[in-house]
């Protein structure tokens, strides 16, 4: 295992019918090395004073710390929600070969 202070995993929910399109936009802009699309998510949340429930997909975005600001900007541009979820989680450690690949594909 190798230290990974520059690597982030970003979580973002999206409508199921738009998730792959959003993932491709991030990849084409070289803002992520990989985006997993996890379908079949049920999201319950507060919105405008009411509890809402929607079927969504979860995007698990692997990127670099230096790409977070442009990644958030791209999500604001291509995501259909007024307030898309963007939560960046630090990666403490990872497999050396995987981290080297990720850093090469998301060279932020």
pLDDT tens for 77-90 read 999 999 999 999 99
Residue 71 clears pLDDT 90, i.e. is over it: yes
Residue 99 clears pLDDT 90, i.e. is over it: yes
**Domain coordinates of the chain in residue numbers?**
2-105
Task: Look at strands 87-90 and 93-94 and give their pairing.
Answer: unpaired
The residue whose two tokens read 């929600």 is 81
For the domain with range 2-105, which CATH number is right: 2.70.98.60, 3.40.462.40, 3.30.565.10, 3.30.70.120?
Answer: 3.30.70.120
Contact by Cβ (8 Å): 34, 105: yes
pLDDT tens for 9-47 read 999 999 999 999 999 999 999 999 999 999 999 999 999
Question: What's the whole-model pTM score?
Answer: 0.95
């Amino acid at each position: 295992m190798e230290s990974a202070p520059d690597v982030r995993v970003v979580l973002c929910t999206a409508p199921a019918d738009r998730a792959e399109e959003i993932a491709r936009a991030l990849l084409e802009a070289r803002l992520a090395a990989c985006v997993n699309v996890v379908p079949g998510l049920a999201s319950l949340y507060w919105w405008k004073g009411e509890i809402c429930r929607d079927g969504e997909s979860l995007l698990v975005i692997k990127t670099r710390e230096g790409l977070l600001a442009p990644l958030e900007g791209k999500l604001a541009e291509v995501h259909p929600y007024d307030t898309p979820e963007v939560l960046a989680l630090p990666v403490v450690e990872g497999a050396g070969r995987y981290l080297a690949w990720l850093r090469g594909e998301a060279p932020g």
